[in-house]
Amino acid sequence: MTSGGKSKGVGSEPGVKVIAENRRARFDYTVDEKLEAGLALTGSEVKSLRDGIANLSDSYALPKGDEMFLHNANIGSYKAASFFDHLPTRGRKLLMHRGEIDRWAAKVRERGYSIIPLVLYFRKGRAKVELGLCRGKTHEDRRQDIKERETKREMDRAMRRR
């Protein structure tokens, strides 16, 4: 049985616990490619994520040398960590293959793409982030998306009436 017409995303897989989703990214950007990357985290950050204290709005990834870093992702502080706590918006290293980093870094440099985190989740106990290679939408693109959504709704209504 299908999931009621919803698209299959990261959260619909077994063994995956979604922590945070960047819904605004799909409105502001056109996602051309997606990629799963691991995160290098401290212990207090992992505990905060298990409690669901995270926010991906205004976050982005940038290549720095041979590595990729996630910037501005807000992982809230863990109350019980006291002295050994972390900075909520520090840069976090993304765990990716060298070929993927090089390919995406070239697209960011040459073609004006941005790397935006779409979903933050746990898969088999490991913190992962789904990154999107995105291009900013123009006003016309947004209007086109709204028009497509409206026509789809009208078609669904007409099908239900019959």
Instruction: Please write the tens of the pLDDT for every residue from 75-106.
Output: 887 777 667 776 677 888 999 999 999 999 98
Q: Is the pLDDT of residue 1 over 50?
A: no
pLDDT for 12 equals 66
Do you know the residue count of the chain?
A: 162
Whole-Å CA distances, 159 to 127, 152, 153, 156, 162: 42, 11, 10, 5, 5
**What is the average per-residue pLDDT within 99-116?**
89
Q: Rounded to an integer, what distance in angstroms lies between the CA atom of residue 12 and that of residue 39?
A: 21
Q: What are 11-43's pLDDT values in tens digits?
A: 667 778 888 898 888 888 888 889 999 998 888
Amino acid at 124: K
Can you say whether the dihedral through the CA atoms of 48, 50, 55, 59 is positive or negative?
positive
Q: What pairing do the DSSP bridges indicate for beta strands 74-75 and 60-64?
A: unpaired
Domains of the chain (ranges plus CATH)?
A: 16-137 (2.40.280.10)
